[in-house]
Amino acid sequence: MIYLDNSATTKPYNEVINTFTEVATTYFGNPSSLHSLGVKAERLLTEARKRMATTLSVDSDEIIFTSGGTEGNNIALKGTAYARKNRGRHLITTRVEHASVLKVFEELEMDGFEVSYLDVDSLGKIKLEDLYSEIRNDTILVSIHHVNNETGAIQPIEEIGKVLNEYRTIYFHVDHVQGLSKVPLDLTEAKVDLCTGSAHKIHGLKGSGFLYIRKGLNIKALTHGGSQEFGLRTGTENVAGIVAMAKALRLVEEKRVELNQSLYKLREEFINRLKTIEEVVINSPTDGAPHIVNFSVLSLKPEVIVQALAEKEIYVSTKSACSSKASEPSHVLKGMGFSDERANSAIRVSFSYETTNLEVEHLVHQLRIIIPELLEVIRP
């Protein structure tokens, strides 16, 4: 099996699964309980928060645990909008965000907020002058992802942070789900106020994530109940998943330090091989993240290629896993100015630090076989 759909989800590390199992079976107490089992669970929760905060170079009380990227984005965006609506109702984002961001803004628009959607260029990046021109006196929030989940395009978060630092009444949210452990981001240096991460994109388990909230921010809770997670995400914490996520983050950060440049090289070699296939056009920018390559095979439906590769036990995807079953053209590629044909025929290949050169070579070899066969079928 060759698994190349790591932007959809990653295979959990064995060490992570072992950690989860140990905590779930031995330290299963509710961390809010006063007895010894509860106290032990609370200690593990506190230690996991400290370790993650250290890795992210932030304070432990700036980390709240969530169920993943979607919930984190909802808390950050809705929590900011509703808490600060008396200050202003203008929000800014881009046209190429993940669905868990765009859908939230659509809902906020229906609730009386006004949203400005920034365009991107053919490389998938915004222009800072466009951001400047959209900022108003009533702007309260800017949300821009770090790494695009479909193309790997990297937004200039540090430069954006400098711009927004001139307007300290504006909160800056970054969806860091795809960049975490692949493209470094210093949250303090970049002046980021809120940042979202997800465990299952870094070889952790599904159902765990985190939201960084800079000290001093006013965020409205979306759920109500107990006092867990500083009152911003009530409900009994998934201690085993959280501790496993902290383990996954540490392990993948160690691999990033050791293997990140090798991953960039693997991506470059893969793109060069793809360029030798006549029917293939590359959609990802050359300076994108090291783990994502997006390309189109014009005249062919991407799901046909995905299924043909799956029959060879090679697993890739079309677009975001949250949108892959939708028939519409990729909104990301359309936002970059590509044609409907190109946006309708895109394939996404996403690596991990375990991906090998031989696996990539085998993928290209199979594409050389599959593409002509499929084209032969549809040609008169």
**pLDDT class for 37, splitting at 50, 70, 90?**
confident
Give residue 326's pLDDT: 56
Q: Please give the backbone phi and psi of residue 144, each rounded to the nearest 5 degrees, phi first.
A: -140, 130
218-267 pLDDT, tens digit per residue, is 999 888 887 787 878 888 789 999 999 999 999 999 999 999 999 999 99
Give residue 165's pLDDT: 93
The catalytic residues are 322
Region 10-29 average pLDDT = 95
Give residue 322's pLDDT: 55
Give residue 221's pLDDT: 85
For residue 378, pLDDT over 90 is answered with no
Give residue 356's pLDDT: 97
Give residue 123's pLDDT: 97
Give residue 80's pLDDT: 97
177-224 pLDDT, tens digit per residue, is 999 999 999 999 999 999 999 999 999 999 999 999 999 999 998 888
110-166 pLDDT, tens digit per residue, is 999 999 999 999 999 999 999 999 999 999 999 999 999 999 999 999 999 999 999
Give residue 379's pLDDT: 64
**Which residue pairs, CB below 8 angstroms and at least 24 apart, start in 270-276?**
270/349, 270/360, 270/363, 270/364, 273/360, 273/361, 273/364, 274/364, 274/367
Rg, Å, the chain Cα set: 21
For residue 40, pLDDT over 70 is answered with yes
pTM, entire model: 0.94
CA atoms within 13 A on the CB side of 238: 21
Residue 320: helix, strand or coil by DSSP? coil
CB-based burial label for 359 (10 Å; 0-12, 13-18, 19+): middle
**pLDDT class for 287, splitting at 50, 70, 90?**
very high
For residue 327, pLDDT over 80 is answered with no
Region 51-76 average pLDDT = 97
CA atoms within 13 A on the CB side of 120: 26
Show the domains of the chain with their CATH numbers: 2-8+258-373 (3.90.1150.10), 14-250 (3.40.640.10)
How many angstroms separate the most distant Cα atoms in the chain?
74
Give residue 325's pLDDT: 54
Which amino acid is it at 246?
Answer: A
Work out whether strand 63-66 and strand 171-175 pair parallel, antiparallel, or are unpaired.
Answer: unpaired
Give residue 303's pLDDT: 95
Reported as type and span, the H/E element at residue 143 is strand 139-143
